[in-house]
A and B are shown apart, each in its own frame.
Chain A
C-alpha cells in the first residue's frame, strides 16, 4: 500500500475516535456536572529524509483529549440537597480507594450512615477534608450558605461543604460517575477556592452544547468520507496505471 492509503487510514481512524468522543458528549447532554471532552489532533510527519516518496507526507495523529472546563448552566431544582458551584472551584469526594475525586456534580442525598453523599454514594468532603455527617433530626431542613456552611433549622452549624481549587495546569482524568482525578502519581493537596460560591437548590447542568456537537458530527462524517474517497481515488489511479502499462507490453 502506498503512503496515500496510510494517510487516509490515519484520518479515518482518528475520525472514528473523534465521533466516539462527540457521541459520548451528546449521550451526557443531560448529565449533572458533566464536562465535555474533546480530542486534539496534530499532523505527524515521519522523519524519512531518505525516502523521496514519503517526504512531506503528513499523517493525522491523536495526541490526547482535554476537558472543556467552562461552567454549565445552573438549573433551579428547589431541592435543599442540590448544590452547585458558581465560579472557579470543585467539590471533592472521597473514593473507596485512591485520592479524593473532584466533581461539579452537587446532586446530594444523605446515606444510611448519615453522611452527605452523591447519588452514586461518594461522600462529599468538608472544607477540612472529612465526610459531612448530618444528624437524623436535621435531615429535613438544611440551609447551605454561599460559603458552603450547612446549618440546621435552629441555626446549629453542621459542617461546611468544601469548594476546592484545582490549578489550571493540573491534569485531570475522567473516571466516570462525574468524577475527575489528578493524573497518576500526582498529588493534589486540597486547597480551598476563594472565588467560588455554593448555591443551594441549584444543579449545574452538563456544559455540552448540542449544536456544537451536531456540527462537529457533520464535520467528522464528511472528513471520514473524504478519507474514503482518497483511498478509492488512489485505488483508481493504481488500477489505471496497471491497465495502461499492461496495454504496451
Chain B
C-alpha cells in the first residue's frame, strides 16, 4: 500500500541530524513524513562531545548513545547505516547511496557535519599511498578505539593543534602512560578562546599536568617509513614520537551539496528557515550549514537550528526563524576549569576591560564590556560566576554597575536574581539539551530533589559540567522546598524505620523472614533495594531461626560466587592465612585445567581466584577442589592476610602466620553489614598492611599485639585506630570477635568499619569492647561464638541445592 505521507530523507545520522528528527517527531512529524536516514558510521547516534571522556577513560562507549538502534525502530524511522550518500539528483528528487540504493525524497535534510581538517604536510601516507601507521584524527567512536589501541603500545605521542579538541585529546592520552606533546601553530594555546595572558596560564597548567607544549611550531612532515617515528617542523627541528593525532580544525562535508549545484561558501548557505538558498525542498542543519556567514562547530547552535527547522518543515510554526547563536565554550579537561565566550580583546575605545589574574594559582578572569553589555569573557581556574555571565552574554542584558561581583561571589547578583532573569528557553544541559523551563516544569510536577530531576529530565547526566547550574535551577524552582530524601535515615529505603526501631519491632513481632517484614511493616510493598539489607539484619538477629528466602539475596549469595561481566563467575577457595601446600596447589591446577579456566589469578587477598566459571559448573568445581568457600563475594568476613612473621623473618617479634590462620579458621564466612578484611603483621613494618584493614593485629616487642580497627585501603583510605594492646593470640581472638559482634549489631547496612568507627567514635567503642562499660561484653562474646558454631560452608550446596535449578542459567523447553 502506498503511503500518502511525504518522504523525508536525512543525510547524516550525527548529533544535528538525529536531534532534528527528534524535534520533527515531537511536533507530530511522524504522521506527516516517512523518514529515512543515512549515516556512514555503523551505529545509531551518539554524543560526540563525550568522546573526550571515552578517550580519557571516564566513560564507557556504550554509555554515550543518544539514539540506540531500537530508537529508530520504535519511532518507525528507517535507518541505513553504514551507508554513505554519494549523489543528490535535484531534478529527479533522488539520492544514491553506496549500498546501491536509489531513494526518492519530497524533502531532503543535509546534516553531514564536518570532518577533521588535515593541514598539508609531507609523509602522511606510507610508501604505497596507504595511511601511515600511527597517524590519527579524533572525530568518531572508531577513531577513539583506534587511538586507544595504538596508544597502549606507544611511548610518545604528539597532538597537532592546541585548541579545545587537541587539549582534550592530549589529556586523554596521558591515561595510556604515554609522554604527550602538543604542537601548536599560534603563539598561545586556544588562541580563539583566550588572550595571550590566559593562554600562558593555560600552558603552565597543562605542563604541570605532564603535557609538553610547543608553541609557534608548524609541522612540515611526518617522519617514518610505514609507521610514525617523529615530526619535522618548518624551523628544521625534529620531535621523536610514535603516534600523531591531528586536531587542527574542521572542514564541513559540503561536496554533495556543491556537486548538485547548491550555493556553498565555507559551508552550505542557508536562509533563516535553515533551507538551502537555492532549493526550498532542501534543508541543512549542523556543522555543514552556513547561516549569515557563520559556521558553528559546537552543539548548542545546532539544537536551536533544529528547532526552527522542525517548526518550519512540519508547519507547526511557519514563521519560525533562526537568527544565529552566541556561543560559549567550556574545556572538558579533567583538572582544568576553563570557559570562554565572545571576543577575547577590546577593540573599541568604549570597551571596558575588567581583569583579575593570579598566574601562580592558575586563576585568570577577564571581562570585556561595551556600553554596559558583556561582549566577551574568559574564566580560568574558577567557574563560579560562569553560569550568570553566560546568561548575561547570551541575552545581552545590562550588567550591574558593580564589576567586582561579576568576577567573584561577593553577594549580588544573587542566584535568585539570575534565575528570575533567565528565560525558560535557556538551555541548561548542553549534552542532553534540557532547558530551564523543562527543569522548572519537572520540579512543579512534584520532583523536588536534584536526583529526581536529573533522572526524569537527564539534565546533568552527560559530561556533568552543568550539574551545579541544574541544582541552582531546582532549588530556585522549588522555592526552597527542596525535599530531603527521608529514606537516607532508614536502615533500608523500603521500610520507614531507623535501625534501632526496626530491630525492636522485628523482635517484638517475631518477624523472621524478609517477606514478613514487608507484609507487616511496609504495607505489603516489596522493595528490591531493601531485601539484602533486611536479610542481613534478620540473620544476625535470629541466627538459626531466621527463615531464609533465597530471593532476598543478591545473585552472588544465591550461588556463592561473584558474577562477572560475561555472566560467568569467579571461584576463590579459602586458603587460611594465605598459607598453602604443594598438594593444594596441584589440586587447584588440575581443576583449572579440567574446566579450561580462562584466568587463574593471585588476588590481593593472598589466595587464588579461578575466573570465568559458568553457573552450571560451579558445584562441580567446588567438589573437585574439595576446599571450603573463601567468600570472595559476600558481605562477610573475607580474609586474614598474614606475613611470614617469626617463622622465617629476621625482624618478626610475634607469630603472625599462626595467628592469622587461627583468625581465619574461627571467623570464616561470618556475615556482617559490610565486608571484613583482616591482617596480622609480625612487626610494625606491617608487610601485610594490617594497619589499613577493618581489623589488624600487629606484633610489638615484648610479646604484645596492637589491635587496629577501622582501617581501609579501598575506595577510601584510612589508617586504623588502636583499640587496645593485648598479650596473647587468644586475647586477640576474643577482642576481635567482640568488636565484630558489636559492629554487626550497630552498623548500618553496607557501612564499612572505617565509617562505623568514625560515626560511633573510638572512645565509645573502646569503652564497650575493651572496658565493658555497658556490661554487654559477655553477651557479645556468646553471640559471636554462636555464629561461629552455626557456620556451614555454603559450597556444600553443591550436593544439596537449596532451591530449584539453583545452578541452571537456561532451562529446556519441554514441548512446543
Question: A and B, one complex?
Answer: no
